[in-house]
Structures are given as C-alpha cells and as structure tokens.
Chains A and B, each alone.
Chain A
Amino acid sequence: MIEALTRKENWIRYLNSLKFALYCMTHPLDGFWDLTHERRGTYAGANTILIATLMVRLMTLRYTSFLFIQVYWEDVNIFLYLASVLFPLALWVIGNWALTTLFDGKGRLGQVYIATCYGLTPYPVIQFPLMVLSNFVTIEEGQFYSVLSIISLIYCALLIVTAMGQIHEYSAGKNLLFTVATLFAMLVMIFILTIFFSMISQGVLYMISLVREFLFRL
C-alpha cells in the first residue's frame, strides 16, 4: 500500500488521468473512447472528481452570495444533501450497467462508474469560479449566474450521455434509447427500494411488538 503510494509513476498516472478529465470536457467523443479503451481514466481520478463535485456542492450553500441562493439553515442536513448527489449517481451507474450488459454494452460496472464521474467534471469546474464570482456582483449583474449555473448542469448531462455511448460502443440512437431506459430503471429501483424498506420496517416493528408482548407476559 505504502509502496504504491510512494511510487512516482503512480502519481504521474493519477495526475495525468485527472488532466484527462479536462480533455474529456472539451473532446467528449474522442476523450471518452480513450478513457476506457486506452485506459486513460483511473478510479482515483473518478473519485477525486466525485469528491470535488460534492465539496463544491456543499460550499455553494455557504459561500455563494445570498443574492442567488438563500439557505434556510434550520432544515439543511449535510448527509441528505450529499445523498442527493450520491444516491442518483449510484442508481444511474447500477441501472445503466444492468441494462447495457444485457444488450451488447462493452462497458463494465467500474467503467460505467469512472465515465459517469468524469462526466461530472463541468460541475466543479464551472460552479466553483461561479461561486467566487457571485460575491462580486450586484443583483442586476446577476443574470449570468443562473444562466451559467444551468449550463453547467446541462453540460454534465450531455457529457454523461455521450460517455455511456462511447464506453458501450453504441450508436447515437441506441445510446439515447438506453439513456431513457436507464432513467426508467432508476425509477423502478426507487420503487423497489421503497417497498423493501417499508417491508423491513414493518417486519422489525412486528418482531419488536412480539418481544414486548413476550416480556409483558413473562
């Protein structure tokens, strides 16, 4: 472990893979093809981008000017807020892999994860400077904030869709079809999870009341 960390070429590969995320942003078709086929992306790089996204998302809450985001701090739950990124991401990755693996998708689960995280790059890259800049403008000059903010989200979505097409070696039409299918798969998973959790909690409650009854009778 320590040996791996101290080896210089590992660090160089990691930094190169991070730099490659910026290349993917500007050259999505070429970039995402090379990401898996040339093994230019790494888990470390993907994790870094994901963590950066989460950090920026949290920081915007606190450091964006109140002109653009007003936070009702009493109701903010950081873990829920982070889950609002992580949970859909997990659903997307699993749903996409589960579907595409049945239909000639060339990407493996890990590759789907890496590509999705690389697709998130525009979020920190655009939102972070935007957050800093928001503190130096007035409300009249603030139109650019909402526009750029929306652009960053659309950019991410487009990148992720493109990335899926490239790593699974799908045509454009098939890619779009499976994007929609993945969204449906996510809904189905949410549905099943909800049922699952309510069933479990019912079961647990049943056991608890049973034990209570026992203790009461003893």
Chain B
Amino acid sequence: MMKKKHFSILCILALVFSVICPVNALADESTGDDTYTYNLDYWGDVQDSPDFYTVCKVFTSSELGLETKMKSPEGLFVYQNFLYVCDTGNNRILEFERISSEKLELRRTIDSFEGDDNNTFNAPTDVAVSVEGNFFVADKGNARILKLDQKLNLLQIFVKPVDNTLDATIPFQPSKLAIDTAERVYCIATGINKGLIKYEPDGTFSGFVGATKVTFDFLDYVWKKLATQEQRAQMESFVPTEYDNVYMDHEGFVYACTGAVTREDLRADKAQAIRKINLMGNDILVRNGEWGIYGDIHMGSGGGYEGPSYFSDVTVFPNDIFICLDRNRGRLFGYDDQGHMVFAFGGNGNMDGYFRRPVAIEHYDQDVYVLDTLDCAITVFVPTEFGSMVYKAVDQFDQGDYNASGESWERVVQINGNYDLAYIGIGRARLRQERYKEAMEYFEVKYDDENYSKAFKQYRKEWVEDHIAIIVLIILALFLVPMGIGRIKAIKHEIDTDELFTR
C-alpha cells in the first residue's frame, strides 16, 4: 500500500498542472452480491470466481439423531476425529465422531461430570480439548472454567482472576477458550477488555495478553480534556475492544478476532479485525496484501446488512491459511500466510451454504465446519477441484517442490483466469526455476512489484553477464571514437598549418 501513497503524493503535486487526475480513480462500489464465491483483485474490484468450497451436507438436530433439539449452540471444536458442539441452550456438550465428510455419529452427550457438588453446566459457551485429551469447558453461567479428563472427572477449576484492576462486583463470564500444548488457558470473558486472560497449567492467573490498541481521535481527546467530570462520565470512554473469539494454531500462536471495529478505523489501519498474538502479546499477523484483512472492503448496505464484516470466529490450517467467519453477511474469508485473500464466499439466507447467524468455524483436514446458532445446524464444506488445487499448489510450494507447484498453479489458472494468487504463484515457481523473464511477465500482470524486482534483478544480472563483451565494446567506442576524431582533426590541422604545405 505504500507505493499507492507515494503515487497520491505525486498526484497532489501534479495538481500544479492538473485539476483532474483520472489515473488514481477508485474501483466501483460493487458489493459482490452477484456470485457466491468471489475474490478481490489488485484494484479491489470484485472478481467472480468458481466455487472454492461447496456444501457437502447440512447437519440439523434430526439428522444428527438428537432427541432434544439443539438450542442456540455457540461452540465448536475438532479434536482428532471427534467434533464437539457446545449446546449452550441445553447446558450440554455433544461429542460426535466424524466418520466421513457426510457422516457424523453421536458418541456421547455430556451434561454432567464427577468431582464437584455443582456437577452440571450452566450455559457453556465453548469447549476445547488439549493435546493430552483433557476437556476445558467455559461454564459461563457458573462463572468458571472446568478441566475434565476423558472420563469426565473434574481435574481443576479456573475461577475469576484476582487482580486489582478488575472490578470485583462484575460477574466472571468466560465465553471462549484456547488451550496451548502445555495446557495454559487463554480465555475471553465478557466484560473484560484488557485482553486474553491467561492461566498457567496449575491454575494461577498470570496476566492479560494482547489487549487491542485503544483508538481515539484527537478531537475527542481535546473535548474530553475540556469537559467537566459529569460530562466526561456521559461520553464514550477510550477503552480497548473485547475479542469475540480465539483459536490456537498448530504453532502455538493465538488468533483472536473481534467484530467491534468501525469502517473508518479499519480503513485507516487503526483497528484490526483479526490479530495473531505471540507469547509477548504482540500482533504478528503478516499483512502484505493489497487490501486489509477485514473481510469485505466494499461495505455498501445491501439486503439490510451494512458496515464492516463482523468476524465471529477463525480457524487456521497447518499451511497458515486461515478462514474468518463473518457474522454480519454470513461469509467466509480465507487469507494466506502473507495476508492475501484466498477466497470469499457465502451469504445470508436459508439455503444450504447460507447462514442466519454463524458463530463458530472449525476444520478437519480441508473440510470446514460452520455452526449456525439460529439455525442450530452444522454446515460442512468440502473444497472443490479448484479449492483443492489451490491448497495443493500452496503446500507444494511450502515443501519446496517448485516445479509441481507451478504446474498446480497453471491448472488453477485454467479453472479461474481471474485468480491473482495463481499468477503470482506461477511467477514464484518460475523465479525458483531461474526462468526470470517468464517470472517477470507473470508478476507484471498482477502488479507484484516486490517479486518482480527480485526476478528483474536476476534477469538484469544475467543479461549483463551475457552481453559483457558488447557493453565493454560500446563503452570503449564511446571513449575511443571521439578521441580518434580529435586526433585525426589535430593531424589534419597540423598538416594544414604546416609550413611545408602553406609555403
């Protein structure tokens, strides 16, 4: 995005000459409502795309074989080949075994456990399973986080952290959980905006991590300074926003998303809809894409929905592609490890593949599971040929198999000629194969200046090495020819003025 800023500065200067500068025009405001799957190109224009994921099956309560129907379920978790659903309204957790993409079998209905007087759940909102197989349940209504073993014996209870900065009167409402390999608990609690609550494996509270940056504009700040105590109390306070959901990726980084962001803050890069938090609590998400990682960039109102995408959950694949779930427009947005959009699809509605209020997303292998809290249904998406080819190409590149990756990307281009990542992917494969000229062409088509420069640098070096003889000759000629002419002229002058001839 930097070079665009450069260009706009140039444009402002060009105003000395120009009133209108049509080059810098923005893309038209289409919202992508026309197709199910789409992508954004370099200019931010919506490009129609073949489906990346397609609905394999929608599991409703009856199809899952449940006697009591699910009631506003909120949590979803995949552990090995088990799928856990937090059936919040019925105070229970459902354990399904994933037989295949089309088949989920109910194994257990967990509604109580051993080892405590209060041995039932009250509105549990999230469940997570550690590597050792212990359950962690955010028992929101009972203001506690439970750690249970596979046989449902209570191992530990995590309660409200004792901290001076926390208001003791506010009830503790843990809503979402992430567990790392050492069984540290990262928790989001309703009403606590200092970041993620972090518990050590022994249950002690060890601090808040990764609070969002506080955003305010200067004018508000000045107003607040001038206002009286009472007026100030009435004003909106500058506080960090709460996260909506967390996900622990395979490397131990926590992905946290929030929907409480405004369009202006997102566009000004002041707020982040999604962050990748390291142990220090810093955001290390790579944002090299042309457009920000906040879902729809065209936020025109349509069908009663407006404003930015509301990310309610995120899931991360082993190849660092992550999928964000937009509760506002019922869409799924995939981004790669560099922050480029891989796909976007979905919508609000009642058909298969559309949602009313999607709240949780999980993946098994390449299948994606989405839980809708109003429909009380789990939708299973499987990648199409196009989707799996993209994944294949990404994986092959990560494994260093550049030839195969290039071929896979070429196959992707055959399916979808408007797919920018494919052209850049072919270019990167060509770059590794040292076919620089071709790489440059692919990068130029999709305006990838960094990679183009890399390829061009090598190409230029090769060219100079190949043509070194000619270059030296030309440079010599540039010096020798004028010198020679000067010499001849001098001789001629000498002859002309020589006494021998003038006499």
Interface residues of A (CB under 8 A from B): 61, 66-72, 75-77, 80-81, 83-85, 87-89, 136, 138-140, 146, 149-150, 153-154, 156-157, 190
Contact = CB atoms under 8 A, between A and B. Distances in A.
Given A66-B449, A146-B6, A150-B13, A88 B43 contact: no
A190 B18 CA distance: 13
A85 to B, nearest CB: 5
A85 B18 contact: yes
A66 B23 contact: no
Given A81-B22, A84-B22, A149-B10, 9 more contacts: A76-B23, A81-B23, A83-B20, A84-B19, A88-B19, A138-B456, A146-B9, A150-B10, A153-B16
Nearest to B446: A66
Contacts of A68: 3, 7
Nearest to B42: A70
A76 B22 CA distance: 6
Nearest to B21: A84
- The 8 A-B residue pairs with the shortest CB-CB distance, nearest first, are A84-B18, A138-B453, A75-B25, A139-B453, A67-B449, A139-B449, A153-B13, A84-B20
B449 A80 contact: no
Contacts of B22: 75-77, 80-81, 84
A157 B18 CA distance: 13
Contacts of A80: 20, 22
B447 A66 contact: yes
Interface string B428-466: 000000000000000010010110111011001000000
A204 B456 CA distance: 57
25 contacts: A66-B444, A66-B452, A67-B452, A70-B4, A72-B25, A72-B27, A72-B43, A75-B22, A75-B25, A80-B22, A81-B22, A84-B14, A84-B17, A84-B20, A84-B22, A87-B19, A88-B18, A88-B19, A89-B17, A138-B456, A149-B10, A150-B10, A153-B17, A156-B16, A156-B17
Interface of B: 3-4, 6-7, 9-10, 13-14, 16-23, 25, 27, 42-43, 444, 447, 449-450, 452-454, 456-457, 460
Contacts of B25: 72, 75
B23 A136 contact: no
B456 to A, nearest CB: 6
A203 to B, nearest CB: 25
Contacts of B23: 61, 69, 71-72, 75-76, 81
Contacts of B43: 72
A98 B421 CA distance: 57
A81 to B, nearest CB: 6
A61 B18 CA distance: 15
Contacts of B6: 146
**B interface SS class:** helix
Contacts of A150: 10, 13
B16 A157 contact: yes
Given A69-B7, A72-B43, A80-B20, A153 B14 contact: yes
A214 B4 CA distance: 54
Nearest to A57: B17
A89 B16 CA distance: 10
A140 B457 CA distance: 10
B447 A70 contact: yes
Contacts of B21: 84
A139 to B, nearest CB: 4
A190 B454 CA distance: 47
Nearest to A78: B22
A85 B20 CA distance: 9
Contacts of A77: 22
Contacts, number: 75
User: Of A66, A69, A136, A150, which is in contact with the most chain B CB atoms at under 10 Å from its CB?
Assistant: A66
Contacts of B453: 67, 138-140
Nearest to A73: B23
A64 to B, nearest CB: 11
Greatest chain A CB density within 10 A among B9, B14, B19 is at: B19
A77 B22 CA distance: 7
Contacts of A140: 453
A139 B454 CA distance: 9
Contacts of A75: 22-23, 25
Contacts of A157: 16
Contacts of B449: 66-67, 139
B17 A139 contact: no
Contacts of A81: 22-23
A147 B22 CA distance: 22
A61 B21 CA distance: 12
Contacts of B20: 80, 83-84
Nearest to A156: B16
Contacts of B450: 139
Contacts of A156: 16-17
Contacts of B457: 138
B10 A146 contact: yes
B308 to A, nearest CB: 24
B422 to A, nearest CB: 19
A71 B4 CA distance: 11
Contacts of A76: 22-23
By CB atoms of chain A within 10 A, which of B4, B17, B27 has the most? B17
Nearest to B7: A69
A2 to B, nearest CB: 36
A83 B21 CA distance: 10
A69 B6 CA distance: 10
A85 B15 CA distance: 9
A70 B23 CA distance: 8
A146 B13 CA distance: 11
A70 B7 contact: yes
Contacts of B454: 138
Contacts of B3: 67-68, 70, 139
B273 to A, nearest CB: 26
- Residue among A67, A68, A76 facing the most chain B CB atoms (10 A cut-off): A67
Nearest to A139: B453
B272 to A, nearest CB: 26
A80 B25 CA distance: 13
A136 B19 contact: no
Nearest to A186: B19
